[in-house]
Amino acid sequence: MANGPVSNIVQLDDRPGPAGIGRPDHDPHAIAVTDLVKEFHTEIGTRRVLDGITFRVGAGERLAILGRNGAGKSTLIKILAGLMHPTSGHIHMGMRLSWPLALGGGFEGELTGYDNIRFICDIYDAPLAPVFDYVRDFTELGDLLFTPVRSYSDGMRARLAFGISLAIDFDCLLIDEVLFVGDQRFQQKCHHELFSNRANRSMIIAIHSPEVVREFCTSALILKAGRGRVFYDTALAADIYATL
């Protein structure tokens, strides 16, 4: 937990969490963040977006990150993904963590979907054939995977990114608000892939949906004014988030 409560949040849950929270040496196979600080230097002074954030995610655990717009959720996700460096603090990566799920901005537009899949397989040392077969089946893009990604619609790019993210064998999935993509039928397919077929995977989810927090998460980190507090009663966390 962070040093002190999130301001203006009442009924904080002080019950102890899993053994070794904030102390990665007690569980080398967890993702543990300790006293994380992120500051941005602006024309009007230094802005501390994250101030002493501490949490731990073990095997099979799902942590929700809750906070209003500007609370630091996406900044924390980018730090975990290695896209941004923290100002101070410690991150222990005891699991293989995915890039932010459904992040399609990293595709090379002149390459085909197939070539982008092949490139990612090379980076992550994953076998191309089963990954491609999975992505083709999941995305339902068919022969469009052999056309340049620049010709894809936003929805097609999201399907491709989501499919590749699920095809690589990550221990922990990192999700920045985008849980499901496409029409209602495809969203149900995404839901099944995440929460049924990967019920044993760890997840870190920046989310606005209290229903997802209550039903699928094992803990929640509430962010406000740079500070954070971990709750293991996710129903209570969702209720508090609704009052922010």
For the chain, list the strands marked E by DSSP: 31-42, 45-57, 62-66, 88-93, 97-101, 172-176, 202-206, 219-224, 227-231
208 vs 27, residue with greater confidence:
208
pLDDT digits over 170-227, tens only?
999 998 876 666 678 888 888 888 888 988 899 999 988 888 899 999 999 999 999 9
Look up tokens 């590749």; give the residue. Answer: 164
User: CB of 84 within 8 A of CB of 75?
Assistant: yes
Whether the CB-CB separation of 220 and 13 falls below 8 Å is answered with no
CA distance 26 to 154: 43
DSSP letter for each residue of 146-208: GSBGGGS-HHHHHHHHHHHHHHS--SEEEEES----SSHHHHHHHHHHHHTTTTTSEEEEE--
Separation of alpha carbons 41 and 54, rounded Å: 23
Per-residue exposure over 29-40, b if at least 16 CB sit within 10 Å of its own CB, e if not: ebbbbbebebee
Domains and CATH numbers, the chain: 17-96+206-244 (3.40.50.300)
User: Residue 114's Cα: distance from chain center in Å?
Assistant: 25
* Rounded Cα–Cα distance for residues 64 and 152 (Å): 31
Residues 34-91 pLDDT 10s:
999 999 998 888 999 999 999 999 999 999 999 998 899 989 999 999 989 999 999 9
